[in-house]
Structure 1
Amino acid sequence: MACAQQAPAQAQREWRDSGVALLPLGSRFEAARLPEQLVLAAMCTTDPQQITALLGRALNGPVIYDNRTMGGTYYALMRPRANRAWTHQAVAPRLGAGNYLVVPRLDRTEPPGTHWAALPRFEGDLCEPETVAALIAYGLNVSQGAQQ
């Protein structure tokens, strides 16, 4: 992931010094910003340990959790898809070129602060955009059904 920066050593220093690195999105990976309520609906639980286990299996790729802003946000790291439409931009925006993401060091797997909800399993491990889109659609469907 450090290679997403033009100077990967800078990312390594940031991880060493502060536990997180600010990485540009778009070339190596993108991220879908998933509101916590949407993820809770899709996972059908509010238990953080269950969510972590279920989310990693459901998305089959790395996910970051940030509770510093917006009431809790998950970021599913995805393969770039610049030339394809993202139908969930209003609910769960796809963040690509021109955006940056705070990425925790690999040993940050618990609160406090930004941490991994699902670790990457190998170099280049990313969620498939179609899988993330399916989780979003399911979460929206569950939450709409609960409102009726």
Structure 2
Amino acid sequence: MKTTVADWLAHSQRAPEQARREWADTGVALLPLGHRFEAARLPERLVLAAMCTTDRKQLPALLGRALNGPVIYDNRTMGGTYYALMRPRADRAWTHQAVAPRLGASDYLVVPRLDRKEPPGTHWTVLPRFEGDLCEPETVTALIAYGLSVSQGAQQ
């Protein structure tokens, strides 16, 4: 496990040792959002449309280039969901809340241990590269808007 990145993530909790214990015991930790980072919940169909692919094996490279920040994948609920970790932006409205909700203060996210890069279970699609490595909200918004335009174009 990358110590500095893992420590940075763990310190999103008031008791970072709890996150470390959860990672050791179960491979995932439940972390509070809003202070260090937020997350955009991106439905898998939207991400596939935005990346113009149905090949999930291409997504780590494509999302890494498109978002330039960490992304978690969870296939346990809602038919597959990506979570783009973003800089907190409480001061700005989120225009895609109905399609790709922004999760922040008062929300929690299941965050995998840094060595969980493949299924089964919740895992990293794009790993954080350093402390504070996060997607820019504007970049995530652009990906959502493009995915929606591709999806709407395919429906016509």
Q: Which residue of 2 aligns with 1:114?
A: 122
RMSD: 0.5
Give the aligned length.
148
> Which residue of 44, 48, 53 maps to 1:45?
53
Tell me, which stretches of 5 or more residues in structure 2 are unaligned? 1-8
**TM-superposition CA deviations, 1:70-100 (whole Å, max 9, x none):** 0000000000001110000010000000000
- Asked if 1:105 is matched to 2:107, the reply is no
Counterpart-to-counterpart distance in 2, 1:72 and 1:17: 24
- Asked if 1:64 is matched to 2:72, the reply is yes
Counterpart-to-counterpart distance in 2, 1:83 and 1:15: 32
Shift of 1:147: 0.4
Counterpart-to-counterpart distance in 2, 1:118 and 1:30: 16
Shift of 1:48: 1.4
Residue identity (%):
85
Q: Secondary structure, in 3 states, of the residue corresponding to 2:11?
A: helix
> Which residue of 127, 135, 141 maps to 1:133?
141
**TM-score, normalisation: structure 2:** 0.94
Q: Which residue of 2 aligns with 1:25?
A: 33
Q: Secondary structure, in 3 states, of the residue corresponding to 1:4?
A: coil
Shift of 1:27: 0.4
Letter in 1 for 2:24: R
> Which residue of 24, 27, 35 maps to 2:43?
35
Q: Secondary structure, in 3 states, of the residue corresponding to 2:72?
A: strand
Letter in 2 for 1:59: L
Counterpart-to-counterpart distance in 1, 2:75 and 2:24: 21
Counterpart-to-counterpart distance in 2, 1:26 and 1:143: 30
**TM-score, normalisation: structure 1:** 0.99
Structure 1: 4+ residue segments shifted above 2 A: none
Counterpart-to-counterpart distance in 2, 1:72 and 1:79: 23
